[in-house]
Structure 1
């Protein structure tokens, strides 16, 4: 299988059940905040003393909650307790065939958030775990900023021809647990 000709940004998270939902929601919101080019009403999510940008939009909140819920349902029944969120940004391009003209979605960037739910942390190790996770979140946020402001990150974005709505581009979030897509 050949590698795609668009950037793929990966974020790896090792999470405990207690904070996993908040962390996953914040990370997905931060990705969307940096890649939705419509009028975005900003919001801040505080997770383990890390301020992460979020999108204050009912549809986006519902989409993120739906996908995080799907992840939870999937990992509950999975022995490995790991899965991934694949956030794909695409553009619509005309597709011509013999008898009709239609549109196809062509990806221009993908974000893969790998998440593993680890066993509960003993109370004596909680402070170190929380500090390590906060550091991972800060590094993830830095990766988002670095990528989206880099030449490669900026050049991946297609020409914006439709300024309606919160995103001029189709956004798709797929949740996989143990390699199988789960729906919410």
Structure 2
């Protein structure tokens, strides 16, 4: 069975890039963390975005968005594009050839790819309106997928109910196909 991959494409400007990327990551995690989640809302470009009020998750999101931002700003990406990948996995027993238990391995069950491109807008007002519309469509995509039959069946059985997430989460940054940070 292949891992479902949900792709989000977004064009950003320098003023709101960090805020928009944080909002998207918060929305994804809000809909995919199955532990006790304390909800939080964010207002980004007049769009209300659901989020997670957890200091560890907030720090993880801030760190990854900062890595993405620095890579774009410092010219690590030649074309001002990059990806933020959010991968949800489950722990499964790892066995050798002879069915001998060899520990555990992380097996991905879902991946979100946020393709971000930085552009200089011709007009701030028009760009903000377009970006707000794109952010709303992105939230709709997240909600539609996570509540769909396909989105619900992608989630493995929850066998560990401790913490904010019963599943390992990896957020990685890619620029020009190379993982950084």
> Structure 1 length normalisation: TM-score?
0.93
Say whether 1:153 aligns with 2:173. Answer: no
Q: Which residue of 1 aligns with 2:125?
A: 127
Matching residue within 33, 36, 57 for 1:36 = 33
Whether the aligned pair in 1 keeps the contact of 2:93 and 2:101 (CA below 8 Å) is: no
**Is residue 174 from structure 1 mapped to residue 175 from structure 2 by the alignment?**
no
> Take 1:177 and 1:71, find their aligned partners in 2: how far apart are those partners?
8
The within-5 A match list for 1:17-166 is 17-76=14-73, 77=75, 78-97=77-96, 100-119=101-120, 121-122=121-122, 125-166=123-164
For 1:72 and 1:135, locate their aligned partners in 2 and report how far apart those are by CA, in whole Å. 22
- Per-residue CA deviations over 1:137-172 (Å, capped at 9, x if unaligned) read 000000001000000000000000100000000000
1:128 shift after superposition: 1.3
For 1:172 and 1:54, locate their aligned partners in 2 and report how far apart those are by CA, in whole Å: 17
Query: Any idea what the Cα deviations from partners look like across 1:19-56, whole Å, max 9, x if unmatched?
Result: 00000000001000000000000000110000000100
Q: Which runs of 5+ in 2 are unaligned?
A: none
Measured after TM superposition, the shift of residue 7 of structure 1 is 1.1
Structure 2 distance, partners of 1:31, 1:110, is 10
Residue 129 of structure 1 aligns to a residue in which SS? Answer: helix
List, as ranges, runs of 4+ consecutive aligned residues in structure 1 with deviation greater than 4 Å.
Answer: none
Aligned length: 177
**CA RMSD between the two structures:** 1.2
